[in-house]
Structure 1
Amino acid sequence: MRDNTIEGERSSSSKQQPQVPMSLKLLDTCLRLSVVPLSVATIWLTVSNHQSNPDYGNLDYNSIMGLKYLVGVSAICAIYALLSTISSWVTCLVSKAWLFFVPDQVLAYLMTTSAAGATEIVYLLNKGDKPVTWSEVCSSYPHFCSKLTIALGLHVVVLLAFLFLSVISAYRAFSRFDPPCDDPQTNNNA
């Protein structure tokens, strides 16, 4: 009889929703808050980046489609990070872990694609592509390339923050479920 009571206590305690540690919530909030100024700095560096050359003309972010994509993704990330930081402290939304899981995953993937595209642009601006007769540009526009490299570095830091956020939100979402049964007797009967 005593064994059934203990077993009943265990099963009722395992059905309770696990509490997210305060340190994890604080790390989540700090990462989300750090994304906002870093994304805004990336946008500002990219949008304000332009340089004129008397031989080749003007070069600015509007000239390169991948940089427009970088700016768009950075803007979405900054807005989402700000809104999710505010809503992460609203108790009724915190219980809905999937509300953070899905957008965190999507934005981590968007950040990956925009960082990859911007990295390719920076590489081509620095090295060129001789087989398709595209010469390097950074010798003619050094200020443009250096600002773009800094913006890419900030964008990569935001990408790393979103990768950590996606892991944290995955932990929050999936820690609510019981692990699969590891009872050898149950596995033999199947």
Structure 2
Amino acid sequence: MGDQAESTLISSNNHQVFRVVGLSLRLAAIPLCAASLWVMATNKQANESYGKVEFSDLPGLRYMVCISAISLGYSVVSILFACLGCVNNDWFFFISDQVVAYLMVTSGSAVAEVLYLAREGDRKASWSEACSYYGRFCDRTKVSLALHLAALLCFIALFLVSSYTVFSKFEAPSVSDSSKGVGE
């Protein structure tokens, strides 16, 4: 077998392996996004002294619920597109996987800030910590954030897989011979 035919066979096998890895990561992201969404969307706690708190009371938590829903929907649709061959464009997945990963980073950061303020408070703004009064609410928020970050890791890995898939189709730039002059 010639070098070019062998190279084509290896490239085809690599593409299939990365396709399976990509589909597996998309499948893994679905229950993580769904669990994060469910835990946060059902998160509420009442306190006799201070009243009731729900996820919808805090914009950062609402944002994460929206992004978890978008990530979940994207995962399902991208699996369907990949399996049905509706979108046979690696660039689509490359860009979409990045966008979803970036959105998940921003929503995770927003929730981390809310959790930090709930645990530590902010003396300059005269905010006291709230987790001692709403412990179950804070604990469920932590669980939801952990699930969200696990889904984010799936999307980061997906981004790397889609990057490899897109850029493996291009040849590396050739190294010029530095012993020749520029004008030669």
- TM-score normalised by L of structure 1: 0.86
> Cα gap change, 1:105/1:188 in structure 2, threshold over 3 Å: closer, same or farther?
farther
Segments of 5+ residues of structure 1 without an aligned counterpart are 1-5
Gaps spanning 5+ residues in structure 2: where? Answer: none
Which residue does 2:37 correspond to in 1? Answer: 43
Q: Please state how far the C-alpha of 1:93 moved relative to its aligned partner.
A: 2.8
Q: Aligned AA for 1:49?
A: N
Is 1:163 aligned to residue 148 of structure 2? no
Q: Residue in 1 aligned with 2:144?
A: 151
Say which SS state the counterpart of residue 103 (structure 2) adopts. helix
**Off by >3 Å, runs of 4+ in structure 1:** 12-16, 185-190
Paired-residue identity, %:
34
How many Å apart are 1:37 and its aligned residue? Answer: 1.1
1:72 is aligned to: 66
Q: Size of the alignment, in residue pairs?
A: 180
Shift of residue 90, structure 1, vs aligned partner:
3.4
Once the two structures are TM-superposed, the CA of residue 49 in structure 1 deviates from its matched residue by 0.6
Counterparts of 1:118 and 1:60, CA distance in 2: 14
Instruction: Please list the CA deviations of residues 36-82 of structure 1 after superposition, one character each: whole Å capped at 9, or x if unmatched.
Output: 11111111111111000111111001110001110010001001011
- Is 1:124 matched up with 2:150? no
> Does residue 138 of the first structure (1) align with residue 136 of the second (2)?
no
d(CA) in 2 for partners of 1:118, 1:188: 58
Query: 1:163 Cα deviation (Å)?
Result: 0.6
Q: SS at 2:100's partner residue? A: helix
The match for 1:97 among 90, 94, 99 is 90
- Find the aligned partners of 2:180 and 2:142 in 1 and give their Cα distance: 55
d(CA) in 2 for partners of 1:183, 1:120: 50
TM-score computed with the length of structure 2 as normaliser? 0.88
Amino acid across the alignment from 2:137:
F
Following superposition, the deviation at residue 186 of structure 1 comes to: 9.7
Going from structure 1 to structure 2, the CA distance change for 1:25 and 1:123 (only over 3 Å counts) comes to: same
Residue 183 and residue 157 in structure 1: after superposition, are their counterparts in 2 closer, same or farther (change >3 A)?
same
Deviation digits for residues 8-54 of structure 1 (CA, Å, limit 9, x no counterpart): x96x99899x4343332221111101111111111111111100011
The equivalent residue for 1:3 is none
